[in-house]
């Protein structure tokens, strides 16, 4: 496969290169792509240096697949140009997620919707990905009525500028601010801009994307998304109300046998998932599995995943793997 990584010099782009190498994706030719100002820089892949090229050069090279992590406006402009050249684009921005003509895919949940005609495929929001991986098998067994989710999201979700802000604050150094407020020793209950209904764009992404990925508009979702001063990954407190009652042992058994999920749930020995455990892992970790004793047919879960890997790069590579395995590219 001739593979382009668009945004190769960024935080997610660099993880995409790492994941492609780790998973031994069959890259016959790597095309690292970035903005004109980054063209000519070098990135490393499997011990070899590759020169970063411009968008126009990459399109002319007609890659088989292009993994995009370069922001929404770049995706809106460049993804159709790659697609017109015959390239299958897997886009990590929010640009195409809610487009009714584009598929929004988490391979463990809904890869079966993909066809050879899908030339622009959307990678969901990081916090949505880790949640729906857990929701899907439970929805199939008990049918979900409502989900209430509060997130605790890593600064890496914002990018290098936010990581630098947090580290500068820890060292007492003044510098460029990614957020309107200090993040170290603080919690910011805002991710992305506010919309007219009082929810942030991040919260609305979780609400709308969950319904689309699960293929069920009847699932009611409400979200509060929060930025916290951690690096390893995103955490979520998730309350799920089912249509029917459930058996806790069966819930655990369902999750334990699901590919891509690791259950860490042993309160007696203080075992539960934390961002530091998920860091640089591809799985979604679940713990604190317990009944909601205030509501019938309701369950509480704690879900953790590395937002740069399963929440972004790994999910995109898994989509490419599925397309290849099913001869769709």
Q: CA torsion sign, 254 to 257 to 262 to 265?
A: positive
CA 161, distance to chain mean position in Å, is 19
Task: Give the phi and the psi of residue 126 in degrees, each rounded to 5.
Answer: -55, -45
Q: Which of 120, 126, 148, 254 is catalytic?
A: 126
Q: Which of 18, 139, 234, 309 is catalytic?
A: 234
Rounded to whole angstroms, how far apart are CA atoms 203 and 150? 9
- HEC string for the chain: CEEEEECCCCHHHHHHHHHHHHCCCCCCEEEEECCHHHCCCEEEECCEEEECECHHHHHHCCCCEEEECCCHHHHHHHHHHHHHCCCEEEECCCCCCCCCCCEECCHHHHHHHCCCCCCEEECCCHHHHHHHHHHHHHHHHHCEEEEEEEEEECHHHCCHHHHHHHHHHHHCCCCCCCCCCCCCCCCECCCCCECCCCCEHHHHHHHHHHHHHHCCCCCEEEEEEEECCCCCCEEEEEEEEECCCCCHHHHHHHHHCCCCEEECCEHHHCECCCHHHHCCCCCEEEEEEEECCCCCCEEEEEEEECCCHHHHHHHHHHHHHHHHHCCCC
Rounded to whole angstroms, how far apart are CA atoms 86 and 101? 17
Q: Is 279 a catalytic residue?
A: no
Q: Is 234 a catalytic residue?
A: yes
Bridge partner residues of 43 (DSSP): 50
Positions marked catalytic? 126, 234
């Amino acid at each position: 496969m001739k593979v382009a990584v668009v945004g190769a010099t960024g935080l997610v782009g660099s993880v995409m290169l790492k994941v492609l190498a780790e998973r031994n994706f069959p890259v016959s030719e790597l095309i690292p792509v970035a903005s004109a100002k980054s063209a000519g820089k070098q990135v490393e892949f499997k011990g070899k240096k590759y020169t970063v090229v411009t968008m126009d050069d990459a399109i002319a090279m007609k890659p088989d697949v292009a993994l995009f992590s370069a922001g929404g406006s770049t995706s809106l402009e460049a993804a159709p140009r790659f697609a017109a050249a015959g390239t299958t684009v897997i886009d990590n921005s929010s640009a195409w997620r809610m487009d009714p003509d584009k598929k929004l895919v988490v391979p463990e949940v809904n890869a079966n919707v993909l066809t050879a005609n899908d030339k622009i495929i959307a990678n969901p929001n990081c916090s949505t990905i880790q949640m729906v991986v857990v929701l899907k098998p439970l929805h199939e067994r008990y049918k979900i009525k409502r989900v209430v989710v509060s997130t605790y999201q890593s600064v890496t979700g914002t990018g290098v500028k936010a990581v630098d802000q947090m580290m500068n604050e820890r060292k007492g150094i003044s510098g460029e601010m990614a957020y309107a407020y200090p993040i170290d020793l603080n919690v910011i209950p805002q991710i992305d801009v506010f919309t007219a209904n009082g929810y942030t764009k991040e919260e609305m992404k979780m609400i709308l994307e969950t319904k689309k990925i699960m293929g069920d508009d009847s699932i009611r979702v409400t979200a509060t998304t929060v930025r916290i001063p951690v690096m390893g990954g995103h955490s979520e407190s998730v309350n799920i109300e089912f249509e029917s009652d459930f058996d806790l042992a069966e819930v655990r058994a369902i999750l334990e046998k699901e590919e891509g999920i690791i259950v860490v749930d042993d309160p007696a020995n203080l075992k539960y998932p934390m961002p530091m455990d998920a860091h640089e892992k591809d799985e979604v970790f679940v713990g604190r599995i317990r009944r909601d004793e205030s509501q019938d047919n309701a369950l509480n879960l704690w879900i953790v995943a590395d937002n740069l890997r399963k929440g972004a790069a790994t999910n995109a590579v898994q989509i490419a793997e599925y397309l290849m395995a099913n001869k769709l590219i």
